[in-house]
């Protein structure tokens, strides 16, 4: 199977989006200590424990999944755009220049919890948008799956996380629908 993992600038987006397995309903963030573990595992400051923080991260996750689904041709809803705009506005970035003179966007100092996560994701997306890799982070078109994957195909037109599973299912549904009509 082809490597579907995102490049470093988009890895956090992919990992966050895939904390919910739509097929099984398992939400790694909602498990006891799940959000704290996710933040810790990604080197982010802890978030205040509570439903508000968990909900905000889940909104961010689903908005990012929708943005990745838009990369396969679906439209991004106005509600999703508003959610992203609101969360991103609370996560400022600064331009940092290192000792070698290289410039990069970084989360503003002092951010914690959801704002720190969102800012780190925003910096990664900005980097990926600049190098042209952001549109290749996609969500599987299968509505029962929507697993986020990185499209490494030469043409960048993949629609499913796995041609052998989700792609095959979609093609079989199309075949059966055509056969039922004929």
* CA-based nearest residue to 58, from 92, 39, 81, 30: 30
CB 14 within 8 A of CB 4: no
Give the mean pLDDT of 13-40. Answer: 96
Strand segments, DSSP code E, in 10-134 are 20-21, 26-27, 93-97, 103-107
**41: pLDDT strictly greater than 60:** yes
CA dist 56 → 34, 39, 86, 127 (Å): 14, 13, 11, 23
List the single range of 75-79, 136-140, 166-170 with lowest mean pLDDT: 166-170
Mean pLDDT, the chain, whole residue set: 91
Residues 23, 26, 28, CA angle at the centre, nearest 5°? 135
Residue with tokens 């600064």: 94
Class of domain 8-181: mainly alpha
* CA-based nearest residue to 49, from 34, 60, 28: 34
Task: Dump pLDDT digits (tens) for 107-141.
Answer: 999 999 899 999 999 999 999 999 999 999 999 99
DSSP 72: T
CA dist 81 → 19, 46, 66, 76, 146 (Å): 21, 26, 9, 7, 19
Domains in the chain: boundaries: 8-181
CB 100 within 8 A of CB 53: no
pLDDT at 1: 52
Give the mean pLDDT of 55-82. Answer: 96
**11: pLDDT strictly greater than 70:** yes
């Amino acid at each position: 199977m082809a490597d579907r993992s995102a490049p470093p600038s988009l890895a956090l987006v992919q990992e966050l989006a895939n904390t919910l397995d739509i097929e099984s309903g398992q939400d790694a963030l909602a498990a006891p200590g799940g959000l704290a573990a996710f933040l810790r595992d990604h080197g982010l400051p802890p978030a205040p424990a509570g439903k508000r923080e968990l909900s905000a991260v889940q909104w961010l996750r689903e908005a990012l999944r929708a943005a990745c689904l838009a990369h396969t041709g679906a439209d991004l809803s106005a509600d999703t755009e508003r959610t992203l705009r609101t969360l991103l506005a609370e996560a400022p970035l600064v331009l940092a220049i290192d000792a070698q003179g290289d410039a990069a966007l970084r989360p503003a100092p002092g951010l914690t919890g959801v704002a720190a996560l969102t800012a780190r994701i925003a910096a990664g997306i900005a980097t990926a948008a600049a190098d042209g890799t952001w549109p290749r982070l996609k969500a599987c078109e299968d509505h029962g799956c929507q697993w986020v994957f990185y499209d490494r195909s030469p043409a960048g037109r993949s629609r499913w996380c796995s041609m052998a599973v989700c792609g095959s299912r979609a093609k079989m549904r199309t075949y059966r629908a055509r056969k039922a009509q004929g």
